[in-house]
């Protein structure tokens, strides 16, 4: 559910149109259509700090953000969920990938206030406690990582890929991960890891 | 005092080419592993020691450090490429909400050396607040005419309309090379170019700094924890022992992160001024424009060859493009082809008003190998010889000669090469031209002395190994873990490696592919000392003569008595801990002082659009003793992928009017991505080199030397004309195809 501004200041200008555009662009290159329909609620926030509640990894988290605060900054700086990385801050690398209602988005391109009312899943929430998700196990098994900075983004994008496709072939995997960059050069082993995880699911 | 040495006979070389040599080893050190050593753990596939931390997002990089009261810093930078700072007013910025510290880094009158030179720094409660304040910084400059186009800079060679250098060859050292050129049956001359590549590490430069009185702790994204500590101590003028540097994880450096840098120093200064911890990491744009790059190069080569394929003359000159410093743009041609060839090497630098070049993964080598290997294929074509045969004829490196043969067979070179360059495959889609190319790879990287490793054995049979240097993602932690496990004869899971904390023993900067070859012998030595110490403790507990107790192969054996498992032996430690420090002794004279490799690539070229796609690549690479196989393969594949990117995509594009890089982001600075991925294979070629007790060699750099050259040669084979300018973008391919049609 969406929280209205709590300081009572009147809305100054609408960012809704801007947000819609930004959010659509934020969807990792591969999702047809757009984000899940945004919940209804007030259409504008005044500048300055607002208290919102985000549903993150199954828990409700209350935090203060400005309207301009990205979901990525909110997760990293306010909630100390630093698995998602700010690598390009422009929707070009996938390092900040999280899921909104099960769909991969670049969280640097989503405003925190726009994620209110949606289920946010980050790399930290993929598997409970000490357990690993099969994808995470396969990433380790295939050594599909080097410095590891891009890895949380790849795991999340791969997870969203497996949400969409039961048994993706190599081309589908490449396509679904095409919004993610790795400078160390782990792509081939990432594809293998995703294939193996898909095989286990199947 | 000379250390006492013991002579050992060891078997070095590689399968099919084994040699016995004698090495003199410090008598505190261990007999080197050699071709006959049977390993339990070394060379096997093991999960990366920090894999789980990385796939769960729990790994904390410098970028991820959150501390109570943490402030966010940024640097305000000059928009002009050359001139002086005329006026600077920071008052309005200081008055902005949330701002806690503002510092000038230059005073009026200071020189501006490139667009992006630092002027001021700000720390605020959020990065957004710091950005708001940055907009209030008032700077005035006196701009001067700048030169950012290397071809227009003083000292640059003139090029003709085909891109060929027109200047005469230099006089210096001309006699021998001129004679050889005159005498050669065939002579070719050509000019090659490489554009500037940025390191593009995904974690940007910077650090998080916290002061406790006069003590400083930083979490740095660095390739040199100890170098960062020394750099901060010198710049901040505080004792090095007051500084602790943490780098447990780091997100890529590729040669650009050896110093704290202006960003690191400013983070510390802002933290001091604000009396609060500060995180200052560069933005993506700054990372491209202000944090170094691989210099561009203009390389001219003329070479002579005889009918039988022997290269008799090789004249190489290079104008490097290292930015405003005007230093460090040198490039390097392969040497194994020219051991008995008349040869000259001339290097110049051309300064421009751009960010300074820095070391990048085999600095200068990919440029030099690209130019030379393409010239080699041009020479081979001129005399009608297959490029592989041409290499076999001229290469004097016996390791690589074996690798060429293995690689050619694995790649099916003879079969796959395009026999009719410029023509589509018979019966295939005429739109696509296919071709195959190859290149040699080389590097040094045997490491050296100076590192130490702590090894502790606890009563619960947990073993810890510690060193203060950093693991860039190469798998150093896994290497330390596996080597300790091998020496102690226990499962790797019982060993925990710790790196990246300057309170632990000293280790090298990770440059020149020296980290593993430097660290590996020290950890093996540490584990051996720990093994002996454990035996001594067991002897004392059991009340037997220490000389009668030995620890090896995961067991402690009392001569003529009982045998204890490692776990049971450790239990006898009670509340004690075994703690020893292993040394890294100097290298002995072993087998081969460099590593050799070769690579093969297949491409297809779209005649309609000029697009080049790499379809398949193979590397055969020597890295001495392969310790952590999976991680060594990962690093090899990674260097190949980075090489595809350098060959096809990456270039800094500069608007010469403003003197600024216009593609300083990941939208327009193209890196190879998942959709560009060819099939790829890495074959590690085991060589026992006997230089140290382990004989590991670095693999980060040698592999990065060859891909662009192999791909450029494959394009030559596909379209029938060489494209001598990296990256091989569609515009250049279309131009070459048009030229090929004309001739
Ligand atoms: S940081 Fe969000 S896509 Fe790059
Ligand atoms: S593992 Fe380093 S960027 Fe992907």
- pLDDT confidence of residue B166: 97
CATH of the domain at A147: 3.10.20.30
**Which among B128, B252, B677 has CB closest to A174?**
B677
pLDDT at A43: 55
Does A91 sit in the ligand 1 pocket, CB within 6 Å?
Answer: yes
Asked whether the beta carbons of B309 and B203 are under 8 A apart, the reply is: no
Angle, helices B365-382 vs B629-648, to 10°: value is 70
- Nearest by CB: A187 against B251, B630, B677: B677
- Judge: B250–A126 Cβ closer than 8 Å, yes or no: no
Question: B479 near B519, Cβ under 8 Å?
Answer: yes
B89 CA → ligand 2 middle, Å:
41
| Tokens describing residue B432 | 């696509």
Q: Which domains does chain B have, with CATH numbers?
A: 69-145 (3.90.1170.50), 293-445+591-742 (3.30.365.10)
Cβ pair A90:B284 closer than 8 A: yes
**pLDDT tens-digit readout, A59-105:** 999 999 999 999 999 999 999 999 999 999 999 999 999 999 999 99
The whole-angstrom distance between A176's CA and the closest CA on chain B is 9
Any idea what the Cα angle at residue B210 is, between residues B206 and B211, rounded to 5°?
135
> B553: distance to nearest CA of chain A, Å?
27
Ligand with smallest separation from the Cα of B48? 2
Cβ of residue A121 lying under 6 Å from some atom of ligand 1: no
Q: Does A36 fall in a domain?
A: no
pLDDT at A64: 95
How close A41 gets to chain B, by Cα (Å)? 26
For residue A140, what are the domain limits? 51-201
Mean pLDDT of B296-323: 97
What ranges in B167-208 are assigned the alpha helix state H? 174-183
How many other C-beta atoms can be found within 10 angstroms of the C-beta atom of residue B230? 17
Nearest to B64 among A82, A127, A132 (CB): A82
The total domain count for chain A is 1
Distance CA B140, CA B549 (A): 77
Tokens of A62: 């209350």
CA distance A111 to A75: 11
| Residues B59-99: tens digit of each pLDDT | 999 999 999 999 999 999 999 999 999 999 999 999 999 99
- Tell me, in angstroms, the distance from the centre of ligand 2 to residue A154's CA: 10
CA–CA separation, B485 and B475 (whole Å): 15
Whole-number pLDDT of residue A29: 41
- Tens digit of each residue's pLDDT (9 = 90 or more) over B141-198: 999 999 999 999 999 999 999 999 999 999 998 999 999 999 999 999 999 999 999 9
For residue A28, the model assigns a pLDDT of: 43
Mutate to test the interface with A, among B47, B54, B254 (most CBs of A within 10 A): B54
Asked if residue A21 belongs to a domain, the reply is: no
User: Looking at the domain assignment, is residue A147 inside a domain?
Assistant: yes
Mean of the per-residue pLDDT values for chain A?
Answer: 85
What residues of A are in contact with residue B673 (Cβ under 8 Å)? Answer: 178, 180-181, 187
Q: Give me chain B's average pLDDT, please.
A: 96
Confirm or reject contact between B641 and chain A (CB < 8 A): yes
Q: Is A2 helix (H, G, I), strand (E, B) or coil?
A: coil
Residues above pLDDT 90, as percent of chain B = 96
CA distance B736 to A118: 53
* Domain-embedded: residue A139: yes
Mean pLDDT value of segment B283-311? 98
Could you tell me if residue A30 is inside a domain?
no
Burial B573-609 (b: 16+ CB within 10 A, else e): beeeebbbebbbbebbebbbebbbbbbbbbbbbbbee
* Predicted local distance difference test score (pLDDT) of residue B179: 97
Q: How far apart are CA A188 and CA B563, in angstroms?
A: 47
pLDDT bracket for residue B742 (50, 70, 90): confident
- How many residues would you count in chain A? 202
For residue range B545-565, list pLDDT tens digits in order. Answer: 999 999 989 999 999 889 999
pLDDT at position A40: 54
Residue B729 has pLDDT above 50, yes or no: yes
How are strands ordered across the β-sheet holding A50-56? Answer: A59-65, A50-56, A119-121, A97-100, A103-106
**pLDDT given for residue A62 in this prediction:** 97
Residue A200 alpha carbon to ligand 2 centre in Å: 25
Sign of CA dihedral A183, A188, A192, A197: positive
At B366, which helix (H) or strand (E)? helix B365-382
For position B324, what pLDDT does the model report? Answer: 98
**B709 Cα to the center of ligand 1, angstroms:** 32
User: Which band of pLDDT confidence, cut at 50, 70 and 90, is reported for residue A10?
Assistant: very low
pLDDT at position A16 over 80: no
- Residues ≥6 apart with Cβ < 8 Å to A63: A51, A52, A53, A54, A74, A78, A79, A112
How confident is the model over B387-406, as a mean pLDDT?
98
Q: Which protein residue has the closest C-alpha to ligand 1 atom 3?
A: A91
3-state helix, strand, coil in chain A (%, to 5): 35, 15, 50
The predicted pLDDT at position A201 comes to 66
Nearest ligand (C-alpha, residue B283): 1
For B679-740, the DSSP string reads EEEEEEE--B--SSSS-B---TTHHHHSHHHHHHHHHHHHHSS---EES--HHHHHHHHHHH
- Per DSSP, B593 falls in state S
- Tell me, using a 6 A CB cutoff, whether residue B252 lines ligand 2: yes
Residue-wise burial string across B130-139, b where 16 or more C-beta atoms lie within 10 A, e elsewhere: bebbbebbeb
Residue of chain B with shortest Cα separation from A122: B57
Q: Which residue has the tokens 């496709």?
A: A165
Domain assignment present for A31:
no
pLDDT at B391: 98
Looking at the CA of A179, which ligand is closest? 1
Tell if the CB–CB gap between A182 and B202 is shorter than 8 Å: yes
- List pLDDT tens digits, range B265-282: 999 999 999 999 999 999
Confidence of residue A11 (pLDDT cuts 50, 70, 90): very low
Closest CA in chain A for residue B629: A143
Q: Count CA atoms within 13 Å of residue B68 on its CB side.
A: 0
Q: Say if residues B201 and B250 touch (Cβ distance below 8 Å).
A: no
ipTM of the predicted structure? 0.96
Q: How confident is the model at residue A41, as a pLDDT?
A: 55
Whether B671 has its CB under 8 Å from any CB of chain A: the answer is yes
Please tell me if the CB atom of residue A87 comes closer than 6 angstroms to any atom of ligand 1.
yes
Q: Do the chains contact at B641 and A187, CB–CB below 8 Å?
A: yes
Crossing angle of helices B730-742 and B707-719, in 10° steps, is 40
The residues that bridge with B565 in the sheet, in sequence order, are B555
Question: Nearest CB to A185: which of B58, B128, B637?
Answer: B637
* Pair B29, B10: CB distance under 8 Å: no
Residue B124 CA to residue B138 CA, distance in Å, equals 18
Q: Which residue has the higher pLDDT, A28 or B314?
A: B314
- B289 touches A: beta carbon within 8 Å: no
Residue in B46, B53, B56 to test binding to A, most A beta-carbons within 10 Å: B56
CA distance B665 to chain A (A): 7
Q: Does residue A202 surpass a pLDDT of 60?
A: no
Indicate the pairing of strand B278-281 with strand B71-77: parallel
- Our mutation pick for probing the ligand 2 site, out of A86, A142, A149, A193, counting the most ligand atoms within 8 A of Cβ, is A149
Ligand 2, atom 4: closest residue by C-alpha: A182
How far is residue B724's CA from residue B705's CA, in Å, rounded to a whole number? 17
Per-residue pLDDT tens for B484-536?
A: 999 999 999 999 999 999 999 999 999 888 999 999 999 999 999 999 999 99
Residues in contact with B75: Cβ distance below 8 Å, sequence separation at least 6, in sequence order:
B105, B118, B119, B120, B121, B262, B263, B266, B280, B282, B286
From A27, A93, A110, A112, give the residue whose CB has the most ligand 1 atoms within 8 Å, as the site to mutate. A93
d(Cα B230, Cα B238) in Å, to the nearest integer? 10
The residues, ordered by sequence, that sit 6+ positions from B431 with a Cβ below 8 Å of its Cβ are B424, B606, B607, B608
- Structure tokens given for B535: 């035996």
Q: According to the model, what pLDDT value does residue B54 have? A: 98
pLDDT tens per residue, range B334-365: 999 999 999 999 999 999 999 999 999 999 99
Pick among B97, B127, B648, B673 to test the A interface (most A CBs inside 10 A): B673
Number of neighbours of residue B498 by Cβ within 10 angstroms:
16
Pocket test for ligand 1, best of A87, A150, A178 (most atoms within 8 A of CB): A87
Q: What φ, ψ does residue B12 adopt, rounded to 5°?
A: -120, 180
Q: Which of residues 152-191 of B touch A (CB under 8 A)?
A: none
Asked whether the predicted pLDDT for residue A13 surpasses 60, the reply is no
pLDDT at residue A33 in the model: 41
Least Cα distance to B193 among B152, B151, B230 occurs for B151
What is the per-residue pLDDT for A137? 98
pLDDT in tens, B445-467: 789 998 999 999 999 999 999 99
Which residues are bridge partners to A62 per DSSP? A53
Contact: B202, A187; criterion CB under 8 Å: no
C-beta atoms of A180 and B631 within 8 A: no
Write the residue in B50, B56, B674 that is nearest to A187 by C-beta.
B674
Task: Please tell me the predicted confidence (pLDDT) of residue B741.
Answer: 84
**Contact B48/A145, CB-based, under 8 Å?**
yes
pLDDT band at A44 (very low <50, low <70, confident <90, very high): confident
Whether the CB-CB separation of A193 and A137 falls below 8 Å is answered with no
Distance B504 CA to ligand 1 centre (A): 35
Average pLDDT score over residue span B663-683: 97
From chain A, the residues in CB contact with B62 under 8 A are: none
Two tokens, residue B218: 């930083």
Q: Is there a contact between A143 and B630 if contact means CB atoms under 8 Å apart? A: yes
B623 C-beta neighbours (distance < 10 Å), count: 28
**B12 alpha carbon – ligand 2 mean position (Å):** 35
**DSSP label of B294:** B
Collapsing DSSP states into helix, strand and coil, what is residue B97?
Answer: coil
Q: Does residue A10 belong to any structural domain of this protein? A: no
CA angle at B709 for the pair B177 and B423, rounded to the nearest 5°: 105
Residue B53 in tokens: 């931390």
Regarding predicted confidence, which is higher, A29 or A43? A43
Q: How far is the CA of A23 from the centre of ligand 1 (A)?
A: 13
Nearest ligand to the C-alpha atom of residue A93: 1
Residues B708/B532, Cβ–Cβ less than 8 Å = no
A180 lines ligand 2 (CB under 6 A): no
pLDDT of residue A15: 38
CA B374 to chain CA mean position, Å: 23
Report whether pLDDT(A18) > 50.
no
| pLDDT: which is higher, B119 or A10 | B119
Q: How many CB pairs under 8 A join A and B?
A: 171
Ramachandran angles phi, psi of B672, nearest 5°: -55, 130
Query: Is a pLDDT exceeding 50 seen at residue B598?
Result: yes
Q: What's the pLDDT score for residue B478? A: 98
Amino acid B20: pLDDT = 97
Alpha carbon of residue B326 to chain centroid: 22
Of A66, A87, A177, the CB nearest to B128: A66
- SS3 sequence of B490-535: CCHHHEEEECCECCCCCCCCCCCCCHHHHHHHHHHHHHHHHHHHHH
With a 6 Å cutoff on the Cβ, whether A179 touches ligand 1 is no
A25 belongs to a structural domain: no
């Amino acid at each position: 559910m969406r929280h209205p501004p709590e300081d009572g200041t009147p809305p100054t200008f609408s960012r809704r149109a801007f947000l819609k555009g930004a959010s659509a662009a934020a969807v990792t290159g591969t999702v047809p259509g757009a984000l899940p329909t945004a919940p209804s609620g007030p259409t504008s926030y005044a500048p300055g700090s607002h208290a919102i509640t985000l549903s993150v990894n199954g828990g409700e988290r209350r935090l203060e953000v400005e309207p301009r605060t990205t979901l990525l900054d909110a997760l990293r700086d306010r909630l100390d969920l630093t698995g998602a990385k700010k690598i390009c801050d422009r929707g070009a690398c996938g390092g900040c990938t999280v899921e909104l209602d099960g769909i991969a988005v670049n969280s640097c391109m989503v405003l925190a206030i726009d994620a209110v009312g949606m289920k946010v899943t980050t790399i930290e929430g993929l598997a409970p406690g000490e357990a690993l998700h099969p994808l995470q196990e396969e990433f380790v098994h295939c050594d599909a990582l080097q410095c590891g900075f891009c890895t949380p983004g790849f795991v999340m994008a791969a997870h969203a890929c497996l949400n969409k496709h039961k048994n993706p072939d190599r081309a589908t995997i490449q396509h679904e991960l095409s919004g993610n960059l790795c400078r160390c050069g782990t792509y081939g082993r990432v594809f293998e890891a995703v294939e193996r995880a898909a095989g286990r699911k199947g | 005092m000379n250390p006492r040495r013991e002579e050992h006979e060891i078997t070095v070389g590689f399968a099919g080419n084994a040699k016995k040599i004698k090495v003199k080893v410090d008598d505190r050190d261990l007999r080197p592993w050699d071709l006959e050593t049977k390993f339990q753990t070394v060379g096997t596939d093991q999960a990366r020691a920090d894999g789980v931390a990385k796939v769960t997002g729990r790994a904390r990089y410098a970028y991820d450090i959150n501390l109570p009261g943490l402030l966010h810093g940024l640097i305000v930078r000059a928009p002009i490429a050359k001139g002086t700072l005329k006026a600077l007013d920071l008052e309005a910025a200081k008055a902005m909400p949330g701002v806690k510290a503002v510092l000038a880094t230059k005073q009026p009158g200071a020189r501006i050396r490139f667009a992006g030179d630092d002027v001021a720094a700000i720390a605020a409660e959020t990065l957004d607040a710091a950005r708001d304040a940055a907009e209030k910084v008032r700077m005035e400059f006196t701009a001067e005419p700048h030169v950012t186009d290397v071809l227009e800079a003083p000292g640059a060679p003139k090029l003709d309309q085909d891109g060929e250098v027109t200047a005469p060859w230099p006089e210096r050292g001309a006699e021998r090379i001129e004679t050889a050129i005159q005498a050669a049956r065939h002579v070719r001359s050509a000019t090659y170019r490489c554009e500037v590549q940025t390191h593009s590490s995904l974690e940007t430069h910077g650090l998080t700094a916290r002061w406790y009185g006069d003590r400083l702790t930083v979490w740095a994204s660095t390739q040199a924890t100890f170098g960062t500590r020394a750099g901060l101590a010198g710049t901040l003028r505080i004792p090095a022992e007051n500084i602790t540097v943490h780098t447990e994880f780091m997100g890529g450096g590729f040669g650009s992160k050896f110093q704290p840098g202006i960003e690191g120093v400013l983070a510390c200064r802002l933290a001091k001024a604000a009396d609060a911890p500060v995180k200052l990491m560069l933005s993506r744009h700054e990372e491209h424009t202000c944090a170094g790059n691989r210099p561009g190069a203009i390389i001219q080569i003329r070479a002579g060859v005889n009918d039988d394929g022997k290269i008799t003359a090789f004249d190489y000159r290079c104008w490097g493009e290292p930015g405003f410093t005007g230093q460090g743009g040198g490039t390097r041609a392969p040497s194994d082809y020219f051991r008995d060839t008349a040869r000259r090497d001339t290097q110049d630098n051309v300064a421009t008003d751009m960010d300074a070049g820095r070391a990048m993964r085999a600095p200068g080598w990919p440029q030099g190998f690209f130019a030379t290997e393409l010239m080699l294929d041009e020479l081979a074509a001129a005399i009608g010889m297959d490029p592989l045969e041409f290499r076999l004829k001229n290469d004097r490196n016996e390791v690589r000669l074996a690798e060429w043969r293995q690689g050619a067979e694995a790649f099916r070179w003879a079969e796959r090469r395009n026999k009719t360059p410029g023509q589509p495959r018979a019966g295939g889609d005429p739109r696509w031209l296919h071709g195959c190319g190859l290149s040699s790879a080389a590097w040094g990287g045997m490491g050296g002395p100076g590192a130490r490793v702590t090894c502790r054995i606890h009563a619960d049979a947990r073993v810890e190994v510690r060193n203060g240097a950093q693991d860039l993602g190469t798998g150093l932690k896994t290497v330390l873990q596996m080597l300790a496990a091998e020496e102690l004869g226990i499962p790797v899971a019982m060993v925990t490696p710790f790196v990246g904390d300057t309170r632990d023993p000293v280790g090298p900067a990770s440059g020149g592919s020296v980290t593993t070859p430097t660290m590996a012998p020290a950890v093996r030595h540490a584990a051996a000392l720990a093994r002996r110490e454990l035996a001594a403790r067991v002897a004392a507990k059991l009340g037997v003569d220490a000389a009668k107790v030995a620890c090896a192969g995961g067991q402690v054996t009392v001569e003529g008595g009982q045998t204890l498992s490692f776990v049971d032996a450790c239990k006898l430690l009670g509340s004690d801990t075994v703690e020893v420090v292993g040394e890294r002794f100097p290298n002995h004279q072993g087998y081969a002082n460099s590593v050799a490799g070769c690579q093969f690539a297949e491409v297809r070229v779209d005649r309609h659009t000029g697009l080049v796609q790499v379809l398949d690549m193979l590397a055969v690479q020597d890295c001495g003793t392969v310790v952590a196989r999976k991680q060594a393969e990962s690093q090899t594949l990674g260097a190949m992928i980075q090489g595809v990117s350098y060959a096809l995509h990456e270039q800094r594009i500069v608007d010469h009017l403003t003197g600024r890089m216009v593609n300083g982001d990941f939208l327009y600075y193209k890196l190879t991505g998942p959709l560009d991925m060819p099939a790829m294979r890495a074959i590690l070629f085991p060589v026992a080199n006997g230089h140290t007790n382990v004989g590991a060699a670095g693999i980060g750099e040698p592999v990065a030397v060859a891909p662009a050259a192999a791909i450029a040669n494959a394009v030559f084979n596909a379209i029938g004309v060489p494209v001598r300018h990296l990256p091989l973008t569609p515009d250049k391919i279309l131009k070459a195809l048009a030229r090929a049609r004309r001739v």
